[in-house]
Amino acid sequence: MLNNMKHFINKLRKQERLGQTISTFVRFNLGTDVVATNEETVTAGVWSENISSLDTHFTSSVATNAQRQYYIDVYQDDPANEGSAVQYSLAYGHAFGSGSNSTGQLNDSPSRAIYAQYRSLLLNRGDSRFTTPSGSTNSIYIINFKRNRLKERLDPGNFEIPLSAISARSTNATGSVTTDSSNIITLIDNSSLTSATVGEAGKVYYIVSGSINNGVYNSTSPVYYGLAYPDHGVLILDANKLDQSLAFKTNVSSSSEANNHFALYKSISGSGAVTNPSTSDPYGFLARNSETVKSMHYFVRVTNGQFNYSNNPTYVTGSEGLISQPSFRKDPKTYITTIGLYNDQQELLAVAKLSKPLLKSKTREALIRVKLDF
């Protein structure tokens, strides 16, 4: 192996003496060859396969009873199917532990743990309740988007939650939903009306009645349903408002497994079975993600005298290091397929692939633009 390498190096030296210079690394001129572009915001559908409207919703039968007391995962299709993935999760929280089974100990109630968890995650220090212009609430429903679908954040102004009214619900039952489009409301954030409030959890918007297409309903006096935290991909809904508007009948008894978050699941999934009269499509849970992409452009300038030879051992032959292809000896040619970006220690940092091999010779020059997003 060592002898073969020495032989190859000797061939390269002979080529250099013959004027067959082989370029391996060329340093960029930072003033002319490297250009930093402005940041760009890129959005895509938040659900699997980057779709932006979800009108089918499934839960899994394999979830344990202990898990279901705290939250439920919602899938795009039957979780028994291969490749089915969680899209979002639903939970119910109560500041004093009501509405879930605590075996007589409210301090151990799942609903109290859920409220405390999201209060710690989202509220500023010193704040103890989720509050909208309609007032503060002890009782909340939570929609938590799957983190790996969010990229950097939920895109403000680009989500719409359809909720169907609960037509009947008995104690501890998940409830039945109406199939009448007149009993369905849609919720959006108020980013079209005002800038976000910035807190310790990042940007915060109010959730109000409205639609993406038509904006906030009654924009001079919106109806507030909760709070949106796009940086965390979390939506907090005021249970009291859902009780008033959609007959959720949130169970706040002190020690019973109320399944309140299943009522929210019924409301969202039930709307998918109803046709939206304005679009003639099923009501879909609309959402998009958002990320800021920074780009650098590297202009690789290949002059006529560069990269006309290859350092591949098969390019040369014999003890004199002659080019193996006779027609290349006076008119050497190569094909550029890949460009590597290196640091000063010659460590490979990124690779750019050309869509097809690019012919290079002494009579051909090339300017290749490499775009690096990060």
Q: What is the pLDDT of residues 237-264, one digit of tens each?
A: 999 999 999 999 998 887 678 889 999 9
pLDDT (tens digit per residue) in 110-161: 999 999 999 999 999 999 999 999 999 999 999 999 998 998 999 999 999 9
Of all residues in the chain, the percent with pLDDT exceeding 70 is 89
How far is it, in rounded angstroms, from Cα 133 to Cα 129? 13
Distance spanning both ends of the chain, measured CA to CA: 40
The least confident of 81-85, 311-315, 358-362 is: 311-315
- Rounded average pLDDT over 63-89: 90
Cα distances from 241 to residues 192, 236, 249, 269, in angstroms, run 22, 12, 11, 19
Q: What is the pLDDT of residue 200?
A: 93
Residue 293 scores a pLDDT above 90: no
Residue 184 in contact with residue 165, Cβ under 8 Å? yes
Give the pLDDT confidence score for residue 41 in this predicted structure.
Answer: 84
Confidence of residue 276 (pLDDT cuts 50, 70, 90): confident
| pLDDT band, residue 103 (cuts 50/70/90) | low
Query: What pLDDT does residue 22 have?
Result: 55
Question: Token pair of 112, please?
Answer: 């109290």
Given the structure tokens 């002319």, which residue do they identify? 32
Contact 240, 265 (CB under 8 A): no
> In terms of Cα–Cα distance, which of 46, 52, 49, 51 is closest to 83?
49
30-59: per-residue pLDDT in tens? 888 888 877 788 899 999 999 999 999 999
Strand ranges for 202-347 from DSSP E: 202-211, 215-216, 224-229, 234-238, 285-286, 288-293, 295-302, 316-317, 322-323, 333-342
Radius of gyration over every alpha carbon of the chain, rounded to an integer in angstroms: 31
Q: Taking the model in full, what pTM does it have?
A: 0.76
* Residue of 25 and 153 predicted with greater confidence: 153
Q: Is the pLDDT of residue 350 over 80?
A: yes
Residue 322 Cα distances to 22, 23, 24, 205, 260, angstroms: 14, 17, 19, 71, 80
Q: Among positive and negative, which fits the CA dihedral 214, 215, 219, 225?
A: positive
More confident residue, 277 or 24: 277
Tell me how far apart the alpha carbons of residues 140 and 261 are, in angstroms, rounded to a whole number: 10
Task: Give the model's pLDDT for residue 17.
Answer: 45
pLDDT level of residue 229 (50, 70, 90 thresholds): very high
Please give the residue that has the higher pLDDT: either 123 or 105.
123
d(CA 150, CA 158): 13
Mean pLDDT of 210-236: 96
Please tell me the distance from the alpha carbon of residue 311 to that of residue 11, in angstroms, as a whole number: 10
Confidence at 19, pLDDT banded by 50, 70, 90: very low
Confidence of residue 16 (pLDDT cuts 50, 70, 90): very low
175: which 2 tokens? 């409830």
State residue 107's pLDDT score.
Answer: 62
Q: Choose the most confident range, by mean pLDDT, from 76-85, 87-96, 305-314, 361-370.
A: 87-96
The pLDDT, as a whole number, for residue 171 is: 59
Question: How far apart, in whole angstroms, are the C-alpha atoms of residue 46 and residue 58?
Answer: 17
